[in-house]
């Protein structure tokens, strides 16, 4: 009786092992053709001490403004955020980003809708730092209708929202072949966006050469910041916490030694 039970267990284990072995062989064999290797970029903000590259973010803002903003909104971002500590246009002389003249000028380059308080009419006016980035289209149907039925998604948190994060966005932007066809991206996701970038599309103010890879990298750096503007603050707090815990552990060790020093082990 005992033997039979043992045999049953061994048998079951063998079946399970065979099944899992089989599955892993099957999965190794299949799925090869549709697989697209995502190119990994070395980001300035990688790692526990990584920070955003300010110059890259500023160039990235320029790419967003001149290229992407005709289709994609940044609905969670206000102009004043650009001048927040850690933001692309932070200036330590202006603790309040609403006073930062560069942020004011950047905002004034945009038009937002407002209500005329005397007449109640909808009017257009220049944006101020307190305004949010304005919508591109009147509504979702209009957005889809203007883009072959697929509305361009909001980009504020795109880097956080997609598997692969910044690498994913970079790969979308650099995955077009010479004929502007998107090379087979990830497993089955095809993005219905025409190639937005081409060599020299923007003229960088800092003289950086505007290759497709450069623009893709810069705008992704900018969008990584819009997705996670508090990253730098969080990382430095994390580091301070680790340091605190380290010092605490050392003190605890000496306290332990001193408390037990007269006790025989
Ligand atoms: C002419 C309009 C247009 C422009 C310009 C444009 N896009 Fe798009 N974008 C789209 C559309 C349409 C989609 C696809 C929506 C879909 O497939 O559902 C898209 C998709 C994307 C996606 C993929 C989103 C996802 O769901 O995974 C990313 C990332 C993206 N765009 C980033 C950008 C960036 C960055 C720029 C500027 C360099 C840009 N786009 C410029 C229209 C545009």
> Ligand 1 in contact with 219 (CB < 6 A)?
yes
Q: Residue 122 is inside which H or E element, if any?
A: strand 122-126
Atom of ligand 1 nearest to the CA of 68: 37
**Does one domain contain both 155 and 210?**
yes
Instruction: Give the residues of the chain that fall short of pLDDT 70.
Output: 1-36, 184-190
Instruction: Report which of 224, 180, 174, 207 is spatially closest to residue 37, judged by C-alpha positions.
Output: 174
Instruction: Report which of 258, 151, 171, 186 is spatially closest to residue 217, judged by C-alpha positions.
Output: 171
> Ligand 1 in contact with 150 (CB < 6 A)?
yes
d(CA 109, CA 87): 18
Tell me, what's the pLDDT at 23? 43
Atom of ligand 1 nearest to the CA of 172: 29
> Ligand 1 in contact with 153 (CB < 6 A)?
yes
180, part of any domain: yes
**Does one domain contain both 100 and 208?**
yes
242, part of any domain: yes
Tell me, what's the pLDDT at 12? 57
**Does one domain contain both 152 and 264?**
no
* pTM for the model: 0.83
**Does one domain contain both 221 and 101?**
yes
For atom 34 of ligand 1, which residue has the closest CA?
A: 68
* Residue 229 Cα to ligand 1 middle (Å): 21
Burial of 156: CB neighbours in 10 Å, binned 0-12, 13-18, 19+: buried
**Does one domain contain both 87 and 192?**
yes
User: What's the helix, strand, coil split of the chain in %, to 5?
Assistant: 45, 5, 50
Tell me, what's the pLDDT at 13? 56
Choose one of 196, 217, 222 to mutate for the ligand 1 pocket test, by most ligand atoms within 8 angstroms of C-beta: 196
**Does one domain contain both 97 and 225?**
yes
For atom 6 of ligand 1, which residue has the closest CA?
A: 68
152, part of any domain: yes
**Does one domain contain both 259 and 189?**
no
> Ligand 1 in contact with 26 (CB < 6 A)?
no
Q: Are 133 and 151 in contact (CB under 8 A)?
A: no
Tell me, what's the pLDDT at 184? 60
* Residue 193 Cα to ligand 1 middle (Å): 5
For atom 25 of ligand 1, which residue has the closest CA?
A: 191
For atom 28 of ligand 1, which residue has the closest CA?
A: 169
Tell me, what's the pLDDT at 156? 97
> Ligand 1 in contact with 192 (CB < 6 A)?
yes
Tell me, what's the pLDDT at 28? 40
Choose one of 151, 153, 194 to mutate for the ligand 1 pocket test, by most ligand atoms within 8 angstroms of C-beta: 153
Domain hosting 264: range is 230-265
Tell me, what's the pLDDT at 178? 81
Tell me, what's the pLDDT at 14? 57
Number of domains in the chain: 2
* Residue 152 Cα to ligand 1 middle (Å): 5
């Amino acid at each position: 009786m005992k033997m039979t039970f043992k045999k049953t267990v061994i048998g079951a284990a063998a079946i399970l092992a065979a099944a899992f072995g089989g599955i892993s062989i099957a999965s190794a064999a299949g799925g090869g053709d549709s697989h697209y290797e995502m190119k990994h970029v070395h980001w300035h903000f990688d790692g526990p001490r990584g920070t955003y590259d300010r110059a890259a973010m500023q160039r990235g803002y320029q790419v967003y403004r001149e290229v992407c903003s005709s289709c994609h909104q940044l609905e969670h971002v206000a102009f004043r955020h650009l001048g927040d500590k850690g933001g692309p246009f932070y200036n330590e002389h202006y603790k309040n980003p609403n006073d930062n003249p560069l942020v004011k000028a950047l905002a004034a380059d945009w038009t937002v809708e407002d209500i005329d308080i005397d007449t109640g009419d909808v009017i257009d006016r220049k944006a101020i730092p307190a305004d949010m980035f304005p919508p591109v289209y009147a509504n979702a149907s209009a957005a889809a209708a203007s883009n072959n039925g697929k509305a361009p998604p909001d980009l504020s948190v795109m880097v956080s929202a997609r598997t692969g994060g910044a690498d994913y966005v970079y790969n979308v932007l650099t995955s077009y072949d010479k004929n502007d066809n998107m090379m087979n991206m990830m497993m089955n996701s095809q993005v219905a966006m025409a190639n937005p970038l081409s060599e020299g599309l923007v003229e960088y103010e800092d003289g950086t050469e505007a290759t497709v890879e450069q623009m893709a990298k810069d705008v992704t750096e900018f969008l990584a910041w819009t997705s996670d503007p508090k990253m730098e603050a969080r990382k430095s707090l994390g580091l301070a916490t680790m340091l605190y815990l380290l010092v605490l552990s050392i003190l605890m060790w000496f306290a332990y030694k001193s408390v037990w020093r007269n006790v025989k082990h």
